[in-house]
Amino acid sequence: MIFRHRFDPTSLREYDIRGTVGKTLGPEDAYAIGRTFASVVAGEGGRTVVIGYDGRLSSPALERALVEGAMASGMDVVRIGCGPTPMLYFASADLNADGAVMVTGSHNPPDHNGFKIVLANRPFFGPQIAMLGQMAATGTVVAQASGTTRMVDVKAAYIDRLLRGRENDTRALNVVWDCGNGAAGDVVSLLVKHLPGRHRVLNGAIDGRFPAHHPDPTIPANLRQLIAAVRHDGADLGIAFDGDADRLGVVDDTGAIVWADQLLLILARDMLRTRPGATIIADIKASQVVFDEIGRAGGRPDMWKSGHSQMKDRMAETGALLAGEMSGHFFFADRWYGFDDALYAALRLLDVASRLDGPLSATRRALPATVSTPELRFACPDTRKFDVITEVAARLAQAGATVRDIDGVRVTTPDGWWLLRASNTQAALVARAEGATQAALDRLKAALSAQLALSGVALPDFSGQATAH
């Protein structure tokens, strides 16, 4: 049977494949992904592909079609069922699989879905994803064959591995966990039974409609229920996950949000007690405080591109033991596998919190203070966004500005820094700025706005966009 397929071009993204179910993504796309990716695995001499899926209503049908496509390319498919994306990464490593695919819409709206792909336990992204589109369009796949499939329940092994190697808690904690009705629910409900202290799980039932709130812990509005529960219970902290549990959100004992770069610094300082001199990576959107304080704590800070696939590649390249992004992805290669796992990062944080002399809020308040904007996203056509960055970079170079250009432009001045980069996943530009004072931040925002105006881009709404950090 001749195989040909054309993906909607908007579905083939930088880090994954995703779209709106029934419009730009469907079971025929899932079959094509299975057929083409399995052909890549076969070309590398591989035979085994692990497949899992999240709790979205469309995920079971997409998973079945994906399995069929992989089997048609001769793969031995290991199906691990519904669970978090990090559990798929664990299963791939634990089973020494040749490839792995997760059906997940991550933190996107309920009618969206997608696929995250791993080849030989390394991220499969960028040109590799584009290659799948070319293979499907040209029918460049291995001859049709009859693969095999088997179900393997890895939840118990994953939980056991999460718990193994935890440091002894100095004190038992009172913790609230918000699964957001996402794919972490079943695993978290089992995991907390093995932890000392008091643990309350919110929205643990996996429900792809996300009835409680949208599962994106980077948006403060989605943390309101968790904050209220932490304050009501007098809890030590609250933990939140996104839809597939590879991103982590945290609130302290007062209900204040611990931003992802602050959390990375807290985790880094603790790890450096036993791993002095370790390389620790933060993405280009992180506070300068993170890089400065990691250095003061005896670590080697490294600024890198945003994106979970970029981070994993950079960790492998540098031998870094920890990395983190403002989006809430945390990657431990210290006593873990190096992939982004919000459940494991949460357990590491519990270890840290149990040893603190005071509450987590005291540690947060003791961090060096700055004033910053949140991450600002504003529309810019895909056909224009990278050109804007090129134009801004050229003007900055002509002006002799101090710029890091590994991912967009991050400009450092005596007032602080500002960032402008093109989103890899949306028709948008991304901006952020951080200053020592409000007046310094205002000057940085003015400089950023001036550059955007010179490129004819509508300015983002900066009103009220400043937070103590």
Catalytic residue set: 106
**Rounded alpha-carbon distances, angstroms, from residue 77 to 100, 309, 321:** 9, 24, 31
**Rounded alpha-carbon distances, angstroms, from residue 84 to 10, 104, 251, 280, 370:** 25, 9, 21, 25, 35
Instruction: Determine phi and psi for 53, rounding to 5 degrees.
Output: -150, 160
Give which of 269, 439, 434, 435 is closest to 366, Cα–Cα.
269
- d(CA 240, CA 225) in angstroms, rounded, equals 10
Token pair recorded at residue 243: 């839809």
Q: Whose structure tokens read 């932890």?
A: 195
Contacts of 248 (CB under 8 A, 6+ apart): 217, 239, 240, 241, 260, 263, 328, 329, 330, 342, 345, 346
**Rounded alpha-carbon distances, angstroms, from residue 207 to 89, 223, 306, 343, 388:** 22, 18, 29, 19, 40
- d(CA 190, CA 156) in angstroms, rounded, equals 9
Token pair recorded at residue 90: 């664990």
CB atoms within 10 A of CB 145: 12
- d(CA 362, CA 180) in angstroms, rounded, equals 27
- d(CA 391, CA 393) in angstroms, rounded, equals 5
Strand partners, 82: 53
Strands (E), 286-361: 300-304, 322-324, 330-332
- d(CA 355, CA 154) in angstroms, rounded, equals 31
**Cα four-point dihedral sign 52, 340, 202, 348:** positive
